[in-house]
Amino acid sequence: MIREALKGGKGEVIRNPKVFIDPLSVFTDIPFREDIIREAAIAVRYFVKNDVKFSNLFLGLTGTGKTFVVKYIYNEIEEVKKEDQDYSGVRQVYLNSREVGGTPQAVLSVIAERLTNSFVPRHGVNLGEYIDKIKSVLKGKKAIVYLDEVDTLVKRRGGDIVLYQLLRADADVSVIMISNDINVRDYMEPRVLSSLGPSVIFKPYDAVQLKEILAKYANYGLIDGTYNDEILSYIAAISAREHGDARKAVNLLFRSAQLASGIGFIKKEHVDKAIIEYEQERLFEAIKSLPFHYKLALRAIVMADDVVTAHKIYSRYCDKLKQKPLSYRRFSDIVSELDMFGIVKIKIMNRGRAGGIRKYVEVQDKEKIVKALEENLTEEMGYEYDEKPDMETG
């Protein structure tokens, strides 16, 4: 059986897995985003050839193509460098604000590091020094900076200072920012907003558009005759219900094809199994990526209804694990970030003069979250994690 899997052939469904893993290496266009790409390309051309700096904010829900479009633009600029001398001095930096830490120091240090191709410390350096490094390396050159998940940055204290310094720096720097939070502008100071260019809205894909996108992936990545129109429509309809998430649609098609390997045809049962796996994996990966105290906070939240009670439980967890607990204010910030990640849902209730305002937290899939937390916390601490801190929750 293993030899059949190694060699492939009989009952195979996937022709080219690279289509699903690295689509930008295969596709030469992005459907339903042509106008956005063209407008961005014109802005880049004016910047490179006419010294007109720009700053755009790409807004849209998860899976609407923001990052895909940005990476496509990035790659195309690198190709144009080979054909147009004006672009030869253009440097590009793409970074995900959340993945590098989200702090002003972390974001600016990574930008400076990638532009200078040298190590730049993330601590003990004034923000202005990072900007000076960027300015010094860009003398006579231009840079385009792509800041993904920029909401992670601007929601931190002083985060929008990074944007202000980049946008107002005495250097040829243009910026494209990406956010899943369509209200991210609300977190920016007026001086930042005045320097910011227009927002570009990525509308969710509908079922018809998603089906066309899936057909494109299937045509390039799957073997003819291993799928039908009904399967593509089924996956498209499911993904359209969840704010038109193309990323989920493509992942479901790929996983369904993997499950059908050896059978030779994708069936509805393969898609249904892929959906269950996808939801479980997405939740597990989201929890796995959380810092240690975020995991402890989430474990406490599962046991409580409101943030005040959750913080008490969290503090007792810390005492038991010989960890210094974070302040209530910082804990409350963490709960807000978990809400932003979609792991919990905050509800603010005003109980009047006597009860005051209280922040409540709703958690779905509690059993799955607890299981994921137990596995992760046990792994991080190096011994069996005891889920119950000896305490009263009231």
Each domain of the chain, given as residue ranges in start order, spans: 32-201, 205-286, 290-381
Q: 41-53: per-residue pLDDT in tens?
A: 999 999 999 999 9
Q: What is the pLDDT of residue 392?
A: 47
Nearest to 202, CA basis, from 29, 28, 32: 32
Q: What is the pLDDT of residue 350?
A: 67
* Helix and strand element counts for the chain (H, E): 18, 7
User: Is residue 221's pLDDT more than 50?
Assistant: yes
CATH code for 290-381?
1.10.10.10
Nearest-angstrom CA–CA distance, 158 and 189: 10
Q: What is the pLDDT of residue 351?
A: 61
Q: What is the pLDDT of residue 380?
A: 59
If pLDDT is split at 50, 70 and 90, which confidence band does 383 have?
A: very low
Binding-site positions for ATP = 64-68, 205
If pLDDT is split at 50, 70 and 90, which confidence band does 199 have?
A: very high
If pLDDT is split at 50, 70 and 90, which confidence band does 393 have?
A: very low
The class (CATH top level) of 32-201 is alpha beta
Give the contacts of 184 (CB within 8 A, at least 6 positions apart): 57, 59, 150, 151, 154
Most confident range, picked from 65-79, 115-129, 337-351: 65-79
Binding-site positions = 64-68, 205
More confident residue, 208 or 278: 208
Q: What is the pLDDT of residue 381?
A: 58
Residue type, 98: R
Q: What is the pLDDT of residue 394?
A: 42
If pLDDT is split at 50, 70 and 90, which confidence band does 265 have?
A: very high
More confident residue, 94 or 118: 94
Q: 296-327: per-residue pLDDT in tens?
A: 999 999 999 899 999 999 999 999 888 899 99
Which whole number is the average pLDDT over 171-176? Answer: 93
H or E element, residue 360: strand 357-362
Name the H helices within 229-327.
229-241, 246-259, 268-288, 292-302, 307-320
CATH topology assigned to domain 205-286:
Helicase, Ruva Protein; domain 3 (1.10.8)
